[in-house]
Amino acid sequence: MKIGRRGFLSFVIGGAAGTALSPLPWKMMDDSSIWTQMWPWTPVPEDGEASYVNSVCTLCSGHCGITVRKIDNRAVKIEGMKGHPVNNGGMCLLGLSGLQLLYGPMRVKTPLKRTGKRGQGQWKKISWNDAVSEVVEKLRDIRSEGNPQTVGFISGSDRGTVSRLFDRFLTAYGSPNFMRMPSVRDSYELTQYLMQGVQALPGFDFENADFIVSFGSGIIDGWGSPVRMSRVHSAWQSADVKVIQIEPRLSNTAAKSDKWIPINPGTEAALAMGLAHVIVKESLYDAAFVKNYVEGFFDWKNRVIDKYNPDTVASITGIDRGTIVVLARGFANASKPLAVCGRGNGTTPVSLDECMAVNALNALVGNINKKGGVWAVSEPNYINWPEIEMDAKAAAGLQHERLDGAGSKTYPFTRYLLPRLPETIDSGEKFPLQALFVSGANPLYTHPDTRAVRNAFDKIPLVVSFSSYMDETAQNADLILPNHVYLERYEDVPTPAGMIQPVIGLSRPVVAPQFDTRHVGDVVIQMAKGLGGSVAKTFPWDSYDSCLKETLGDLWNFLMEEGFWSNTGAMPPFFGTSYETASGKFELINKDTGSIPQFKPVSIEGDEKDYPLLLIPYDSIRLACGFIGDPPFVMKTVEDSVLKGKDVFVELNPKTARNQGLREGQRVVLTTPKGKAEVKVHLFEGIMPGLVALPRGLGHTAWDEYLAGKGINFNALIGPVEDPDSGLDAAWGIRAKLEKA
Amino acid sequence: MHTLDDHAKDISEDAADEAGPDLSLEMNLKEQDTGAGGTIILFFILGLFASLVVGWIIFPKLLYSNKKQPIDFNHVFHVEEVDNGCESCHFFRADGTFSGAPKLAQCIDCHEEIQGISPDEIKFVEEYVSKEREVPWLIYSRQPDCVFFSHAAHIKGAQMDCVTCHGHMGESESLKVYEENRITGYSRDIWGKSIGGFKKNTWDRMKMDDCAECHRENAANIEITDIPTPTQRLIDHIVNLVPPGTSTFGKGGSVQTERDPCFACHK
Ligand code: SF4
């Protein structure tokens, strides 16, 4: 039989009819629609048992309590812990995005040893044993040559067992060079020491204050413990608390305050003195407090009356006389006034003058160690370790002065002066640093004058980073010994920045370590054991966890159950007897050092002729600028007027722009005595004329592709300016110029 | 252009000529008519038949691949051993979510050591229990990711039993072959064994139509009753093309569809 055209057609028609009568097309339709929902790149969350782990966020010094939701063994969401004294269920953007720091691509997954040149990014994996023994070898050599003082440690914090282990290690080894990252706490500590004679944490009873004068502190821009501050800020709004924000730029904090007073940058101390002038002159101060508990009032009063009348202050600060007088009266007449300093998010110190002047204002209204005032908060005393065993080598090493000059004759009472380190290394005036350990810090990004810091680091033969992430410092290290991230490790977390009640939190593993990382506490203990002798004896613990358990004693069980311990009924130290100064009083003038609240301009770098503008930084809660960089979720929230693509915008007053012949969106070259960079112009009425503002937290060169190469690092354009009274870096800006690109 | 068919016709005409006069021509023409019609019908039937065979028999064979479970499991035996029936292993967690296939944690009490001599048992203990690896069970009833199904609402709320949807799984002595749909990756049990979608028992299929069927039948007792089957929805849309807000359907919780909210079941 032959198949003709008709036969063929009828075969096809029959086939079509049969197909329609078969399940094939209908089933295929159904399956293909399901298939389209099944793209392999569509993330599908695993199903499993939900559980919650209470821990503490240590991504900043806010130390919020967190509750992490898990599905089986995977952490899926970080929430604020309800009932926690710091954040009571609240969270910040960065904390919420913490999972990206756990599972993200920026993690260092195993110990790494540099193979190429420093910073080239060429690494080879090595085992933990090899890594630790390599470090131990080097340390043993340095020590046997009698130079233990040439080993340094930079730590993000100096509180809690982990930091104390670093310090203990260095002491037993024989080096005085344990250094903490700078912040406004340095200024406050020194101020409290000089005026009140105590070494304590500055605490602010914001919850009970009713008139806030903030000298540039970014109350909702990351200052102090950020979530606590935003909670306080909301409470202020409903309780009708007055907030006066004094700063040259309309920050978020300024925009949400009752009054924003623009001030010439760097003249905050002058304003504080001007306010003191009005208060003293009009006898608005707390006479009883001043009479009973303040020493040196009359000497100081005469100087204040003499030098800081509102007209003089008006010409220095650019704030008119009337505003100064009204502000002073408002402050002094409020029932619980509180003045606070520390620009932006408080990660840079202020000059001693400024901090003392602001503290003096608080003293004038008698709110030192009082409800609604500034407290000297003592650290909960739970770390009681056996005496450090020191052999002759250690004792000899410790005789040396610190490299950064803290505690030296020039700066006897300042505890850490990390920003001075690069210069000291460069000048070679003291001994060279032979090995440097860095943990919880990223100095190659956060330090002013990043280029100089890098050059100084290049002179150190061994740089070891404990970073969990490939940050700038890790990238330029010789060895990376990656720590577990905060969601994978135990750690005690002491009182958050600025809190008045002591809190101890317990950060604990939410998930098992994802990679071949090791707790830095364990590594330090292993290093000590490797060195043997008295150093090993100083570390009687098998592991960090056992050290922590033993240290916390009964607290351990409590913390395991509750997640945190807090003294909710904390009372301020009785304000009449809490001064440990020579006079037993609050000293407006410290007789030993001659320190006195006053205004001396901090002379910033650059001359006006070459650099007609002033560059200042600004902080935002959307840009992490500490040792942690923005994870992708947070990066997504940065506005288009701050960062567009890879370009960062500098803020410029339209008047300044007109003078300079610049317009919105124009590409310009920003030059300072420290460096230059291409940026774009954003016109903003909220910045005083003559200023240029650049956000901090951008311009990373390391981390991941979501963060690196976007914008400019402010620290690459500024250098430190040493405060002659404290040695702290008091730079508030730098001179700059803008040219069309 | 000549087609095969044309040739066939030519040749038969030639043959008719040879045979001689009119009558035969007529006859031949008649014959040819029925012959061609027959062929057409024959081919139609052939095509029909072939495609029916493809659609009903070959297609399902091609569509599904046979996969074996990582280890075999005897439900009958285990049900006898436990006190609480299915819920002993397939239980509700404290937060009300359903645990699904058991994890090692549920097995480990008895299976820390090898029990008996079955090779599957040995494999289970050696490969999974001692290595602390979860068994990658192939789940017959796994629904696409967009489906949100609450066991609690059905088991605790509506007091249904497992068999209604899952059949007599608990009475099986070994695990059946897992037929995986090559296109979607889901088990054949969702569409049902019958490729035509026919079912005898409630547990024969687990498609949305089956949800809808039960919800309609039991409308009086069930909160969400107007679940449209996909087919129905298509027809509804064509027949009932009316401005929003004037629909004759019962008003559900959703403003857009005026039905009960889709997100009750669809993620
Ligand atoms: S404020 Fe700091 S501690 Fe709190 S959640 Fe944010 S990053 Fe974490």
Whether residue A714 is predicted with pLDDT greater than 90 in this model: the reply is yes
Task: Flag if B47 and A49 touch (Cβ within 8 Å).
Answer: no
- Per DSSP, helices labelled H in A106-241 are 128-144, 160-173, 184-196, 226-239
3-state helix, strand, coil in chain B (%, to 5): 50, 5, 45
Cβ distance B48 to A15 less than 8 Å, yes or no, reads yes
- Report the residue among A60, A219, A491, A628 best suited for mutation to probe ligand 1: largest number of ligand atoms under 8 A from its CB: A60
Q: How confident is the model at residue B133 (pLDDT cuts 50, 70, 90)?
A: very high
Residues A132 and A176 occupy one common structural domain: yes
| Residue A738, pLDDT score | 96
Burial of A445 (0-12, 13-18, 19+ CB in 10 A): buried
Does residue A595 fall inside a structural domain?
no
Judge whether residue A184 has pLDDT over 60. Answer: yes
Least confident of A330-339, A407-416, A710-719, B244-253: B244-253
**What is the share, in percent, of chain A residues with pLDDT greater than 90?**
89
Per-residue pLDDT at B75: 95
In this structure, which residue's CA is closest to atom 4 in ligand 1? A64
Given a cut of 70, whether residue A632 has pLDDT beyond it is: yes
B231 at interface of A, judged by CB pairs closer than 8 A: no
Q: Could you say which of B50, B54, B97 has the minimum Cβ distance to residue A24?
A: B54
Residues A336 and A365 in one domain: yes
The pair of three-digit structure tokens given for residue A84, joined into one six-digit string:
């926690």
Instruction: State whether A526 and A427 are in the same domain.
Output: yes
Is residue B163 within 8 A of residue A16, CB to CB? The reply is: no
Question: Measured between beta carbons, which residues in chain B are less than 8 angstroms from residue A73?
Answer: none
Looking at every residue in chain A, the average pLDDT score rounds to: 94
> What predicted TM-score, i.e. pTM, was given to this entire model?
0.86
A451 and A547 in a single domain? The answer is yes
Sort out which chain B residues have CB atoms less than 8 A from A1's CB and list them: 39
Tell me which amino acid residue A49 is: E
Interval between CA A620 and ligand 1 midpoint (Å): 13
Which residues fall within 8 angstroms of residue A719, CB to CB, at 6 or more apart?
A448, A449, A452, A605, A673, A674, A731, A734
Domain containing A701 — which CATH number? 2.40.40.20
**A371 and A403 assigned to the same domain:** no
Per-residue buried b or exposed e for A685-701, using 16+ beta carbons within 10 Å of the residue's own CB: eebbebbbbbbbbbbbb
A60: Cβ contacts below 8 Å, ≥ 6 apart? A92, A94, A222, A226, A624, A626, A628
CB contact under 8 A, A23 and B185: no
What pLDDT digit, counting tens, does each position of A110-165 carry? 999 999 999 899 999 999 999 999 999 999 999 999 999 999 999 999 999 999 99
Closest CA to A182 of A415, A439, A529: A415
Among left, alpha and beta (phi > 0; psi -120 to 50; other), residue A430 is beta
Distance A383 CA to ligand 1 centre (A): 24
Structure tokens, A468: 């969990």
What is d(CA A360, CA A354) in angstroms, rounded to the nearest whole number? 10
Residue A427 lies in a domain: yes
Query: Cα separation of B150 and B141, whole Å?
Result: 14
Supply A500's token pair: 């008045």
Which member of A11, A12, A31 has the closest CB to residue B181?
Answer: A31
A508 token code pair: 């604990």
- Pairing of the two strands A242-246 and A211-217: parallel
Give every CB contact of residue A51 below 8 A, 6+ residues apart in sequence.
Answer: A69, A70
Per-residue pLDDT tens for B84-112? 889 999 999 988 999 999 999 889 988 98
Indicate the SS3 state at residue A124. Answer: strand
Enumerate chain A positions whose Cβ falls within 8 A of a Cβ in B: 1-19, 21-24, 26-28, 30-32, 34-35, 37-38, 42, 44, 47, 49-50
Q: What is the pLDDT of residue B260?
A: 67
Q: Does B143 touch chain A (CB under 8 A)?
A: no
- Say if residues A674 and A449 touch (Cβ distance below 8 Å): yes
Question: Is the same domain home to A434 and A530?
Answer: yes
Q: In the predicted model, what is the mean pLDDT of residues A703-730? A: 95
Lookup: tokens for A114: 């540099």
Residues A529 and A407 in one domain: yes
Distance of alpha carbon B37 from alpha carbon A688, whole angstroms: 96
Q: How many angstroms does the Cα of residue A61 sit away from the middle of ligand 1?
A: 7
Number of A–B residue contacts, CB under 8 Å: 127
- Under a CB-based contact definition with an 8 Å cutoff, are residues A496 and A228 in contact? yes
Ligand 1 pocket: which residues have CB below 6 Å? A 57, 59-60, 62-64, 91-92, 94-95, 226-227
First-to-last alpha carbon distance for chain A, in angstroms, is 85
The verdict on a CB contact (< 8 Å) between B5 and A38 is no
Contact assessment for residue A677 and residue A711, using Cβ atoms and an 8 Å cutoff: no
Q: Are residues A517 and A440 in the same domain?
A: yes
Q: Which atom of ligand 1 is nearest to the CA of A60?
A: 2
Contact A459, A638 (CB under 8 A): no
Sheet (strand A74-80) strand order? A50-56, A65-71, A74-80
DSSP per-residue letters across A64-82: -EEEEEEETTEEEEEEEPT
User: Which pLDDT belongs to residue B30?
Assistant: 47
pLDDT band at B262 (very low <50, low <70, confident <90, very high): confident
Q: Which residues of B touch A37 (CB under 8 A)?
A: 144-146
pLDDT at A67 over 50: yes
Cβ–Cβ below 8 Å for A4 and B196:
no
Chain A residues lying within 8 Å of B56, measured CB to CB: 22-23
pLDDT band (50, 70, 90) for residue B219: confident
Terminal Cα distance for chain B, rounded: 59
Which pair of structure tokens corresponds to residue A232? 């306080």
Give a yes or no: residue A661 inside a domain. Answer: yes
Kindly give the pairing relationship between strand A647-652 and strand A675-683. Answer: parallel
Strand partners, A492: A506
pLDDT at res. B116: 85
The tokens for A629 are 């960089």
Q: Same domain, yes or no, for A402 and A372?
A: no
Quick check: A733 and A696 in contact, CB under 8 A?
Answer: no
B47 contacts A22? CB cut-off 8 A = no
- pLDDT classification of B38: cutoffs 50, 70, 90: confident
- Tokens standing for B154? 């059905």
Please say if the pLDDT value at position B243 is more than 70.
no
- Residue A448's alpha-carbon distances to A423, A674, A729, B86, in angstroms, are 12, 10, 9, 66
Residues A702 and A554 in one domain: no
Residues B244/B190, Cβ–Cβ less than 8 Å? no
Determine which helix (DSSP H) or strand (DSSP E) holds A613, and give its type and residue range. strand A613-618
Average pLDDT, chain B: 80
- Whether A37 and B146 lie within 8 Å, measured CB to CB: yes
- Distance of alpha carbon A490 from alpha carbon A483, whole angstroms: 11
Of A10, A18, A44, which is closest to B43 when you measure between CB atoms?
A: A10
B208 has pLDDT over 80:
yes
**Cβ pair A235, A221 in contact under 8 A:** no
State both tokens at B111: 């299976």
Residue from B40, B48, B263, B63 nearest B150 by CA: B263
Give the residue, A485 or B228, on which the prediction is more confident: A485
| Contact between residue A446 and residue A474 where contact means Cβ atoms under 8 Å apart | no
What distance in angstroms lies between residue A296's CA and the mean position of ligand 1's atoms? 41
Position A195 in a domain: no
Q: Checking phi first, is residue A490 left (phi over 0); if not, alpha (psi -120 to 50) or beta?
A: beta
What does each C-alpha distance from A100 to A49, A103, A136, A630 come to in angstroms? 21, 5, 33, 10
Domain boundaries, given as residue ranges, for chain B: 14-64, 75-224, 225-267
Q: Which atom of ligand 1 is nearest to the CA of A628?
A: 7
Q: What pLDDT does residue A499 have?
A: 93
Task: For residues A495 and A513, give the distance between their C-alpha atoms in angstroms, rounded to a whole number.
Answer: 26
How many folded domains does chain A comprise? 3
B5 close to A (CB below 8 A) = yes
DSSP string, A509-558: -SS--SSS---HHHHHHHHHHHH-HHHHHT---SSHHHHHHHHHTHHHHH
Coil, helix or strand at residue A660: helix
Q: How far is CA A289 from the centre of its chain?
A: 35
| pLDDT over 70 percentage in chain A | 99
Q: Which residues contact A671 (CB under 8 A, 6 or more apart)?
A: A611, A736, A737, A738, A739
Helix (H) or strand (E) holding A18: helix A5-21
Give the strand pairing for A613-618 and A586-587.
Answer: unpaired
The residue segments making up the domain with residue A545 are 112-180+395-487+513-564
Look at residue A317 in the predicted model and tell me its pLDDT: 97
Q: Which chain B residues are within 8 Å of A10, Cβ to Cβ?
A: 39-41, 43-44, 47
Residue A140: inside a domain: yes
The closest of A720, A684, A696, A730 to A618, measured between CA atoms, is: A696
Is A300 within a domain? yes
What is residue B9's predicted lDDT score, i.e. its pLDDT?
45
Phi-psi region of A697 (alpha: psi -120 to 50; beta: other; left: phi over 0): left
Instruction: Round to whole Å and give the CA distance between B143 and B185.
Output: 10
Can you tell me the ipTM of this complex? 0.78
- Shortest distance between the Cα of A53 and any Cα of chain B, in A, equals 15
User: Does residue A49 lie in a domain region?
Assistant: no
Kindly tell me if the per-residue pLDDT of B245 is higher than 60. no
CA-CA distance, B221 to B202, in Å (whole number)? 18
Phi-psi region of A690 (alpha: psi -120 to 50; beta: other; left: phi over 0): left
- The answer to whether residue A588 is domain-embedded is no
Q: How confident is the model at residue A593 (pLDDT cuts 50, 70, 90)?
A: confident
Q: What is the CATH number of the domain that holds A371?
A: 3.40.228.10
The verdict on A370 and A407 lying in the same domain is no
DSSP classification of residue A265: T
The shortest CB-CB distance from A10 to any of B4, B47, B93 is to B47
Angle formed at CA A59 by CA A567 and CA A127, multiple of 5 degrees = 120
Query: Which tokens belong to B167?
Result: 């059949």
The neighbour count for residue B178, using CB atoms within 10 Å, is: 18
Whose structure tokens read 């407006």? A588
| 3-class secondary-structure state, position A208 | helix
CA A94 to ligand 1 center in whole angstroms = 6
Contact call for A16 and B51, based on CB within 8 A: yes
Whether the per-residue pLDDT at B154 is higher than 60: the answer is yes
Query: Could you tell me if A334 and A471 lie in one domain?
Result: no
Q: How far apart are CA A434 and CA A140, in angstroms?
A: 12
Position A163 scores a pLDDT of 96
Q: Is it the case that residue B25 has pLDDT exceeding 50? A: no
Ligand 1: which of A55, A56, A61, A63 to mutate, judged by most atoms within 8 Å of the beta carbon? Answer: A63
pLDDT in tens, A306-363: 999 999 999 999 999 999 999 999 999 999 999 999 999 999 999 999 999 999 999 9
- The Cα–Cα gap between A34 and B146 comes to 9
Residue of A28, A42, A49 best to disrupt the B interface, most CBs of B under 10 A: A49
Q: Return the pLDDT at A4.
A: 78
C-alpha triplet A458, A464, A470: angle, nearest 5°: 90
Tokens of A225: 């413990």
